[in-house]
Amino acid sequence: MSEDPGPTLSERAPYLKPDDAARALARRLLGESRHAALATVTMPDGQPLATRVALSTLPSGDVVLLLSDLSEHSRALASHPRASLLVGHTAPGDGLRQPRLTLRGHVVRLVPGADEARARARYLARLPEAALYADFADFACYSLTIVDGLLNAGFARAHRLDRADLCRDPSPEMEARESAIIRHMNEDHPDSLSRIIASQRTTDQTNWRIATLDPLGFEALSDTGDLVRIDFAQAVVEPEGYRHAFVRLVKEARTKQARAKP
């Protein structure tokens, strides 16, 4: 008999290799979630804690949270800064057949400064209702840097994801342009934005505003609070690339709409 214990359970688990569709589904699950379940651990006893949080995304694709110092999860994170997030809505029916994404990562409480201000702005852009309490003294911004993820696209359709499947760091020049691009699209091209979203989603919403932008796509909020994530056809790698990426999405939307007409 061999002493080799054999593959671990994870190695035995029938994970599928992530493909572009799995990566896009994972980004969409995160990008279209206003809320998530947060798993933290209370130390030293190692007791897990599952709580509800609201979330937004950073330019890198990582996650930003706004937590109260009075909450149990903040206390847990203060002594053990690791967390996991579960995103994905459950519709009526068997929730285990419905897609969801588990992210695992490291959490950092952001100190006031440029990074914190940007994270806070992205949080409020996606969750405007948080403006009511975001400035309370006991609330602080946290970043969750994604280490890896598990995408469950339905029963027995599990993918293990690396950080690179979900995140893409923009250059400082790209980040510096983000606000101007968002403002330009929202103020000067609302019809193009609507057209892009209508070509990719079944929705009766027409008033959309881009809330957050990143090298892989954007998240937009309707005036009734619907949230959509749209990926670019390919990752943007330099500031001028954003314009090309939007032009391409609009062209594809026009082509799709023209084909759909009788």
Output 68 or 186, the one with its CB closest to its own copies: 68
User: Whole-number minimum distance, CB 129 to its own copies, in Å?
Assistant: 5
Output 100 or 195, the one with its CB closest to its own copies: 100
User: Whole-number minimum distance, CB 145 to its own copies, in Å?
Assistant: 13
Contact footprint for its own copies (CB under 8 A): 8-10, 12-14, 34-41, 43, 46-54, 69-72, 74-75, 80, 82-86, 88-90, 92-96, 100, 102, 104, 127, 129, 133, 150, 152, 155, 225
Cα separation, 132 vs 140, whole angstroms: 14
User: Whole-number minimum distance, CB 236 to its own copies, in Å?
Assistant: 30
Cα separation, 256 vs 250, whole angstroms: 10
User: Whole-number minimum distance, CB 87 to its own copies, in Å?
Assistant: 9
Q: What are phi and psi of 142, to 5 degrees?
A: -130, 145
Output 96 or 176, the one with its CB closest to its own copies: 96
Output 213 or 221, the one with its CB closest to its own copies: 221
Output 53 or 193, the one with its CB closest to its own copies: 53
∠ CA 90-154-22, nearest 5°, is: 105
SS3 content of the chain, % helix, strand, coil (to 5): 35, 30, 35
List, in sequence order, every residue forming a beta bridge with 100; answer none if it has no partner: 152
The continuous run of DSSP H or E covering 52 comes out as strand 47-54
User: Whole-number minimum distance, CB 222 to its own copies, in Å?
Assistant: 11
User: What dihedral do alpha carbons 86, 91, 92, 98 form, nearest 10°?
Assistant: -60
